[in-house]
Structures are given as structure tokens and as C-alpha cells.
Structure 1
């Protein structure tokens, strides 16, 4: 890739000839508009115009995937809608190493163009100038393991439940039980940031008092991801509350803050940033709209998150296991020479999902966040934590879950409760 160019790959669907559709994309997102204008010289186009790098034709379909698409005037009924992979190249000088302006260029107005009945950004390659501007994850996998004291296995975590509605005084007993149970990681739910009935400042104080008290006794300090998502002018104050209390992680809802807001948090953060992907379904659920997780995780890593939600296998949401496994594997691939980020598995996770997860991704460099899989274990919270660890032990050792459960009561109880 040329060092002064940005490469963006798209999956498109159109009733127009593919070459025409690709040129419309390139023109719309660089020097062109619907008609030539004064000043649009060949020299300007050469320096600042987007280029069509390649077009790979795929299948055709009879009906448009999205409403509102136009068809060529000369097109007859039944002409069909062509699908293809289109790669465009944009000059870095148009954008500069800027996440907000990158998004305006590689996404921008493309999704609204009438020539397309489907368009999805599926990959992105960036020049080194972005790495020089954005340092990326500060802690990543190794830093998270150092702060949590967990090595050679996944971090076992949970989410505060109920997601919203607990009052400040309700947090202490629950966090105490979880810390005493030996859990590695706890996170706020994304719904709970700074509500009047459990203000962040009070919640941080209550939670960290319990975590520090247990740590003084056991030597193990739980990592707690406080949801500090808020308006931009609140981020530093919220972050500093956690640092002052001795916390070791903050959580940010990336799509709520935006990539620039997340990068701003990274610019002063002294703690790992736990990246949540709220609103992801709106960006991804249609296969011919939005963007792929391959692109999203690169942007999140560039913005500086240290952990990133990928969904979990056998989840309660719409993504199938192959999609989730690919998301986890995407996070493991080097980007811009590094940028290590720790995948976070969540949604209906319990001891039994460890086996298919390990079979699919062959790594323990993950945080498995089991809400009900820990909190609703029939043997109690401590048994829930042990059961998830036992599930991973069976997975890594290649022992069938039922066989391993014969020697581990907590796992046996989990199978009876959650496998239904």
C-alpha cells in the first residue's frame, strides 16, 4: 500500500454497471459531485480524487436488499442487482491522520447514494501516519494481565445485575461477595453510568472500599470497569474519580462517545479502557449496510481501547458463532504493527461456552464476562466463578465437559442449570 493512501474495501449491491457504481463512490467521497463544477481540473482530480483500485464481481440477485435504490433509465425489468467487492484508494492529504475525518471520507454519504441497494464497509488499511498520531491501546493484553494478576488463563468476570436500578448501598454486599469468590473482573452494565440513585462518585467509593478491603485480606485485587461514559467535559473528572479511589479500569461506550471522544479519553487515561460496543447492531445487523467488525475493531484500537466486546459464542443476540469467532480472531491480528487489544466475551456466557470458544479461537487471552452464568449458579456466586474456570480447564485440556464435570461439582451443577 502506498504510504500516502488509505484503502477501503466495500461490499456493494447495485442495478448499475459495476464500473459506473464504483466511480460514483470514488467521486462522491472525494472531488466529484453530480455534475462537473468550475475548478475541478484534471490536476486537482489527480492529486485529491479517490481511485478505484479493484472490482471483484460476485453474484446477482433479483430484488434490492435496501429500499430507495434507483435503477438506470435504460434498464429493463428483471435486469437484476449486481454484488461486488470494490476497493477504493483515498489520498491521505484529503483527511490527515484524523479519525473523525477518516470516517467522513470512507463512510460519509456513501450509504445514501441512490445507485446502491446495499453498501457495507468491510475492511480498512491505513498508512503509518495514523500510528504516529494515535498511540492505540496503552495496556492491552499484557498490561491487563499484570494489573489483574491473572496469567495463563482467561480473566473470569461478571456484570453487575440488575443492569440498572440498584442503589449505591446495594453495590457493597454484591461486590464483596464477588471479590471473596475470587472473581477476576467486574464491570458496570452499559446502562448504568451516573444515575441519580447510584451516582458514579458514590458508586466508585463504595465499590473500591469493598475491593480494597478484600484485597488487603487475600492479596487479590479485582479489576472493576467503572462506566465513565458521559459528555466530553465529564470524562476527565470521571476518570480521575476512579484513579483517586485506587481503581484499575474504566469503561467507555465507544459509539456513544465517538472515536474522537474515545481517543480523547485515551490521551490522559492512566488506566485500561474497557471498550463497549453499544449500538453495534444498528451498524452491523444488515449484511448490506454499515460496517464489518473487522473495520470497527481497527477503529476502536486506533482510538485506544484496551478491551473490546466481541459478543460470545451461543449468545442471546443475532450473531452466529462463526461471526463471533471471526470477531475474536480479528482482535488478535496485528494492526499498524501491534495495537494489542483483549477480546471481551459476553451475552449468555457460562462454563459450557468455554469449550466451543476455545475450539474456535485457540486462545485464552480473553475476558469471559458471565452475568447469569456466575450470579445465578445454584451453588452461589463462588461456585459460579469456579464452574467457569473449570469449563476453561476442560476446554484447554481437551477433556469433554461431561467427563470433567464428574470430578467437579460446580461444573456439574452449571451443566444441569444452564445447558437447557
Structure 2
């Protein structure tokens, strides 16, 4: 039996749902808007997309999106399509064109969102997935249990390499596990990439020599392919243990090529995710989207955080984290580590732990650490102790009775 790609959508249409489904299937495979002589039944049977499922959910009198066919009745459906793998082979760029290409702008569509994806085993053979994932990240960071406690260098831009290194010095002395560049920090004249890496790694390496703990720093290597490879090589040469790439900026080809070259974990930032998902009637759910990036080689995937500063609700954040922790496919789990960020403090630890059932994650806090009234070290300790309380099932206020740092944090986190 021919292996097939299966994609599931939420569809809204102002025409007959079966007609809309067939239009989408044709547009994304062998169909044309007018029948041609060489568009034979045999060709359609071999290469055409199939409508596997069409389930009506409800109706409305207004379209979710403008620009489509005018109608007084719009139908919402679950639509599942499938394509034979022979159409384009196990190729992530061409998969993207097929499952998320021209279908969104069809006139028959007044709402369309990709909600699920199942891939043949040939994708696992073609793409290696994360080289390090959870196990490798724990090994390199020296954190065997509990989350990696992390932070982001702020201000995100404007600091010199020396000023950045001073912040890093304070953080590593305070016991931090993970530090990352902001996605906006790249290779500007105020803080050139090479100078920043050398200045930061001097601090990290000196601390590691004294204590035996090497803090993981994710340097933002985002750029052209040659730039990313060269920047990765500098981080590796300086003893670094992580690089970071902005997914929507480098694309699946860029990430895959970085993965092929990299000897370090790849911290994947999702900047720009909002324009792909914020409209409930258009774009992607996180679960299918993150599959592509894990196949391409992402070791860490950002999922936002509970009670975050953005518009994403908590249930969406938890669904994203669970998706990252779940296997990409049965043949290749490709586990990656979810990264919680955005307005985070220890107040979210217990709910996060309860929701995902494990502590295989990176929990990053900026102000939640730097704003501690007793200093950065106390901020790091307070966030770590909040996770101890969460994992042991102890109320935060009670656990704070034995931790001066946590007790002090509770005064400003709220």
C-alpha cells in the first residue's frame, strides 16, 4: 500500500463543504480550475489528494475571513486530506507547500486552520531530528533532575560585549543553568557576535574551571547559511554548548542545514509565531507546526508560558508543551525540550508541573530573577526552590518558610 501524508484542518466555507474539500484537494495536488485532457482518472487516482474525512461541526451567517465567495450561510467542518508520498517524497520544504500552500487563499474558503499531521516513516529516515534533545541537554548542562533554570540577557540590544559578559558573570555566580541571547541580538555594531561569544565564554569557562559546572549559553547564530555555520564553529571553538536559531527567519531548510553541520544543541526560537496562529480561523495549531521543526533538528522548542505577557491562553501553552514532549511519529520519537518563557516566575511552577506531568523543560525568567530584592543569586535560588516545591507537592508559601530567597521572591512576584 502506498504511504500517504495525512493533514487535518478546521474548514469554514460558504459553498457546499464537499465542493470546498474537493477544490482544496485538487488545488494542492493534480487538479486544475478547468478540466484538461491529460487530467485523467488514472492520474487523479495515482497522484490526487484524497478527502479522507469531512465532518460538519456547525454553521454561521457571517464568514470568519473576508474575500471569499459571498454567502448567507457558512459551514464549519473537520477536513482530513491525504497525499501519496510519491508526489514529492520525504521533503520538508515541499511538505510545507502541500499542506500549507495556496489552499488558505482559495475563494471557497472563509476559514482554514491546520490542526493535525501524520507522516510516513520515510520522513524519519530522511531527517535526523534533534541530535541532543532532553537527554543531551541534561548531560551538557549538568542538570540531571528538575528543569533547567534559565534567563535572557536584557536589555536585548544595546549592551556591549563587556557589559553582556558582566551580566553573565553575575548569573553564573548565582547558579543559573541556562542563558540565551534575545532573538533580537545578532551581530550588530554595539555588540558584534564574535566579540560577544569570546567575552561571554571567558566568563563561563572560568566559572566551569572553578566549580565544575558549565552554564549552557544559547548564542543567536541566526543569519545566512554560511554565517550560521561559521558562528556555530566559533561557539564550539570557544567551548560553548548551545546555539540558537529563529525558526521563521531561517526556514526549514536553514534549520536542517544548521542541524547537519552542528555539533551543539539547537535552541529554536519561534519569533513570529503569532502571525501564523493568532486568528482562530487561519493558520496553524502548534502541534503540527512543531513537528516540522523537530524533524529538521530543533532540540529546544519555545512554547510561551502560563499566565504570559502575550495573548496566548494557558490551555494553548500546555497543549504546545505536550506536543513537544510527544513523539513525532511512532518510528522516531525525536523528543525535544519545551522552553517556557514570557513573564515567568516561580508562581507558575506548580501549575506547569501539574499540567505536563514532568520537569523536562527549560524555565526562563528575566525580571522574575533580576528583580529579586536580594539580588540575582537569590532570584535564581527562588525560581529553583519553587520547582522543588512543585515536584514535591508542597504549597509554595509553606516551602518558602525554609527558604529566605523564595520568601523574598513571593513579595515581589505577586
Aligned residue number for residue 347 of structure 2: 352
Equivalents in 2 of 1:305, 1:50: separation in Å?
29
Deviation at 1:181, TM superposition (A): 0.7
1:15-30 to 2 correspondences below 5 Å: 15-30=14-29
Q: Does 1:185 align with 2:178?
A: yes
Structure 1: runs of 5 or more not aligned? none
1:21-420 to 2 correspondences below 5 Å: 21-71=20-70, 78=72, 80-336=73-329, 337-419=332-414
- What are the superposed Cα offsets for residues 165-190 of structure 1, whole Å, 9 maximum, x if unpaired? 11112112111111111100000000
Aligned 8 A contact 1:3 1:127 in 2 = no
Bigger shift: 230-239 or 143-152?
A: 230-239
Aligned residue number for residue 4 of structure 2: 5
Deviation at 1:3, TM superposition (A): 5.4
Equivalents in 2 of 1:382, 1:154: separation in Å?
17
Aligned 8 A contact 2:150 2:178 in 1 = yes
- What are the superposed Cα offsets for residues 284-313 of structure 1, whole Å, 9 maximum, x if unpaired? 001111111001110110110000000011
Q: What's the RMSD between the two structures over aligned residues?
A: 1.0
Which SS does the other structure have where 2:377 is aligned? helix
Q: TM-score when scaled to structure 2?
A: 0.98
Aligned 8 A contact 1:59 1:84 in 2 = yes
Which SS does the other structure have where 1:260 is aligned? helix
Which SS does the other structure have where 1:221 is aligned? coil
Deviation at 1:379, TM superposition (A): 1.2
- What are the superposed Cα offsets for residues 66-91 of structure 1, whole Å, 9 maximum, x if unpaired? 111113xxx6xx4x211011000111
Which SS does the other structure have where 2:117 is aligned? strand
Deviation at 1:47, TM superposition (A): 0.8
Aligned structure 1 segments of 4 or more residues deviating by more than 4 angstroms:
none
Which SS does the other structure have where 1:122 is aligned? strand
Which SS does the other structure have where 1:290 is aligned? strand
Bigger shift: 2-11 or 124-133?
A: 2-11
- How many residues are paired up? 412
Deviation at 1:38, TM superposition (A): 2.8
